[in-house]
Amino acid sequence: MSNKKHIKMTVNGEEQEFLAEPRELLIHTLRERLNITGPHIGCETSHCGACTVTLNGKSVKSCTVFVAQADGADITTIEGLGNPDSLHVLQESFKEHHGLQCGFCTPGMITRASKLLEENPNPTEEDVRFGMAGNICRCTGYQNIVKSILAAASEMNAAKEAAE
């Protein structure tokens, strides 16, 4: 289309540059332009959180951000949290505690949880439920998601203590 804009952004540590219509939604930029398909499209009205990414240090629903708004932004998706040789503690913890079933909400869920634990390393169960309330899961009933996040918090804290 006509009014394409030059966009620059850093995604999972890699610089990306391209031309895009400003109206392009960030979730489509990630998924279709950059082939980063971890974040998913669930509701499209900013209710479900399946598209959650970390944008300039905030948990954001990328279905409700125009690519033009993210020009210059630093973005982390599930793909940037861990890799097959070294998973993020949360990735391990979700596996360990059966914190997922169909897997569709999982990338957004873990990405959001990583930010939650960054801001609150010692959450109570209530903190986790409240802090994760922007992410909908249809399969698990949340019980094991909450368990996974609390367990990850303990593990991260133990690792921190051991390092000190």
Partner 1 sequence: MIPAAFEYYRPKDMAGVLSVLQEHGDDARVLAGGHSLIPMMKLRMAEVPHLIDLQDVEGLGGISVDGDTVRIGAMTTQHDIIDNAALAAAAPIMREASLQIADPQVRYMGTVGGNVANGDPGNDMPGLMQCLDATFTLVGPDGERTVEARDFYEAAYMTDREDDEILTAVSFKAPKGGYAYEKQKRKIGDYATAAAAVLITKTDGKCSAASIAMTNLSDTPIWSEAAAEALVGTSLDDAAIAAAVAAMLGDIDPTDDNRGPVEFKRHAASIILRRAIETAWSRA
Partner 2 sequence: MNKELTREERADALGGMGCKRKRVEDARFTQGKGNYVDDIKLPGMLQGDFVRSPYAHAKIVSIDASAALALDGVVAVLTAEDLAPLGLHWMPTLAGDKQMVLADGKVLFQGQEVAFVVAKDRYIAADAVELVEVEYEELPVLTDPFAAMESDVVLREDLLGEGGSLPDGAHGPRKHHNHIFTWEVGEKDATEQVLQEADVVAEEMVYYHRTHPCPLETCGCVASMDKVNGKLTLHGTFQAPHAIRTVVSLISGIEEHNIRVISPDIGGGFGNKVGAYPGYVCSVVASIVTGVPVKWVEDRMENLMTTAFARDYWMKGKISATKEGKITGLWCHTTADHGGFDACADPTKFPAGFMNICTGSYDIPTAYLAVDGVYTNKAPGGVSYRCSFRVTEAAYFIERMIEILAIELNMDAAELRRINFIKKEQFPYQSALGWEYDSGDYHTAWDKALKAVDYDGLRAEQAQRVEDYKAGKTRKLMGIGLTHFTEIVGAGPVKNCDILGLGMFDSCEIRIHPTGSAIARLGTISQGQGHATTFAQILATEIGLPADSITIEEGDTDTAPYGLGTYGSRSTPVAGAATAMAGRKIRAKAQMIAAYLLEVHDDDVEFDVDRFVVKGAPEKFKTMKEIAFAAYNQAIPGIEPGLEAVSYYDPPNMTYPFGAYVCVMDIDVDTGVTEIRRFYALDDCGTRINPMIIEGQVHGGLTEALAVALGQEIAYDDMGNVKTGTLMDFFLPTAWEVPNYETDHTVTPSPHHPIGAKGVGESPHVGGVPCFSNAVNDAFRAFGLRHTHMPHDHWRIWKTANGLGLHG
Q: Is 59 in the site for partner 2 (CB under 8 A)?
A: no
HSE-CB for 118 with a 13 A CA cutoff: 12
Q: Is 69 in the site for partner 1 (CB under 8 A)?
A: yes
Q: Is 101 in the site for partner 1 (CB under 8 A)?
A: no
φ, ψ (nearest 5 deg) of residue 144: -80, -20
Q: Is 1 in the site for partner 1 (CB under 8 A)?
A: yes
Residues with Cβ within 8 Å of 139's Cβ and at least 6 positions away in sequence, in order, are 100, 101, 102, 105
- Subset of 82-141 contacting partner 2 (CB under 8 A): 82-84, 87, 91, 94-96, 98, 100-107, 110, 128-130, 132-141
Distance CA 96, CA 90 (A): 10
Closest CA to 42 of 101, 91, 109: 109
Q: Is 16 in the site for partner 1 (CB under 8 A)?
A: no
59 interacts with, out of partner 2, partner 1, none, CB within 5 to 8 A per kind: partner 1
Interacting residue with partner 1 among 10, 16, 46, 101 (CB under 8 A): 46
